[in-house]
Amino acid sequence: MSNARATHLSRRGILAAGGALGLGAVLAACGDDDAKSGGSDKETTAAKSGPWTFKDDRGQTAKTDKTPANIVSFIGVAAALHDYGIESKGVFGPTELKSGKADVQAGDLDIGKVTVIGNEWGQFNIEKYAALSPDVLITTMFDAVGTLWYVPEESKKKILAVGAPTVGISAYDVQLPTPLARMLELAKSLGADTTSATITAAKKRFEDAAARLRAAAKAKPDIKVLAGSASQDIFYVSGSNLSIDLEYYKALGVNFVEPSAAALKASGGWFENLSWENVDKYGADIIMMDNRTSAIQPADITEGTWKKLPAVKAKQVIARNPEPILSYDKCAPLLEDLAKAIESAKKVS
């Protein structure tokens, strides 16, 4: 999660005002069964069968008369499902950059083939959502109470009033293999062939990458890794608890820089805030930097204190996505990159 959660929580009030306008008319237009079932011209054989149920990580069971065809999901979920051959009709969350290119969280998704109903925190166009005749809304969750990620609290009731059930996959305080398995289970319920050669190979690659990372960490236990994220005024140092990737890497033996519990308290346990003057508080041999568009990227950091860090000078800085795309195909390279960095790292701290 890094700094994004704190930043987003302070921006709850920026929900686009236009989303709720004309909702009643839209709901009336798409409320009958024919409209709801006829929204996709690419229904799979699985989507024509039914009924469909899926128990999510809140313990809630989503139910529909048939396997959902009109899927609306958070962009990272859409990217993961795409890797399993399940396509979303609409997406929300960081999808398109100002340049028109796809955000890193879109993975291999062709963003030109989906309806974007919100591209930033707080944005969720309810009219667009309702017009898609959604069969299900799927997203991740980053807290213990099951808050649906990127579904604005201010308009949640109106979103739920559209009538589609919701599914939440937890990405909070568990190790990476757990949500990966849950996403695969969800994809299977939606019609994915989870025994295909492609998916089997991706899972094998992930398992091999985990073994490689474990071996690298064991061979170089003194290499210290810091997970960071940059903003204009603050450098965030993530603790290894709560985050699905860092918890797993730690279980594999990676030696992380760990802020104290007191330092983490202000962010609910996620990270410690440092001023750029104090960015050298912790010694690190490798720095993993948040690669999401909400964070300043290493090449764009102008602070002199950053450039003086031993790991930066040694060019031992790699990318990290605190919101991994939950498919084996996308997560295997994350482990491989960290393993490679540890294997080649020099002790500089």
Residue 49's pLDDT band, with cuts at 50, 70 and 90, is low
**How confident is the model at residue 113, as a pLDDT?**
97
If one compares 266 and 111, the residue with the highest pLDDT of the two is 111
CA distances from 275 to 44, 253, 300, 305, 313 (A): 52, 29, 17, 10, 20
If one counts every other C-beta atom within 10 angstroms of the C-beta of residue 208, the result is: 13
Mean pLDDT of the chain: 88
pLDDT-based confidence at 44, cuts 50/70/90? very low
Task: Evaluate if residue 61 carries a pLDDT over 90.
Answer: yes
- The DSSP code for 45 is T
Model pLDDT for residues 164-187, shown as the tens digit of each residue: 999 999 999 999 999 999 999 999
Portion of the chain with pLDDT greater than 70, in percent: 86
Summarize pLDDT for 237-290 with one digit per residue, the tens.
999 999 999 999 999 999 999 999 999 998 889 999 999 999 999 999 999 999
Measured distance CA(275)–CA(293) in Å, rounded: 20
pLDDT of residue 266: 86
Strand 115-118 and strand 90-92: the pairing is parallel
Residues 6+ apart with CB under 8 A from 66: 37, 47, 48, 49, 50, 51, 52
Residue whose pair of structure tokens reads 């686009």 in the numeric block: 16
pLDDT for residue 168: 98
Pick from 12-26, 67-81, 213-227: least confident: 12-26
Lowest mean pLDDT among 21-25, 38-42, 138-142, 195-199: 21-25
Q: How far apart (Å, rounded) are the C-alpha atoms in residues 156 and 159?
A: 5
pLDDT over 70 (residue 296): yes
pLDDT the model gives residue 180: 98
Overall pTM > 0.75: yes
Q: Would the pLDDT of 12 be above 80?
A: no
Output the six-digit token pair for 133: 């005749």
pLDDT class for 300, splitting at 50, 70, 90? very high
The predicted model gives 320-335 an average pLDDT of: 97
Reply yes or no on whether the pLDDT at 16 is more than 90. Answer: no
- Quick one: average pLDDT of 142-167? 97
Q: What is the pLDDT of residue 135?
A: 98
Task: Specify the residue for token string 């992930």.
Answer: 206
As a whole number, mean pLDDT of residues 124-144 equals 98
CA distance to 239, 264, 266, 319, per residue, from 236 (Å): 10, 10, 12, 15
SS3 176: coil
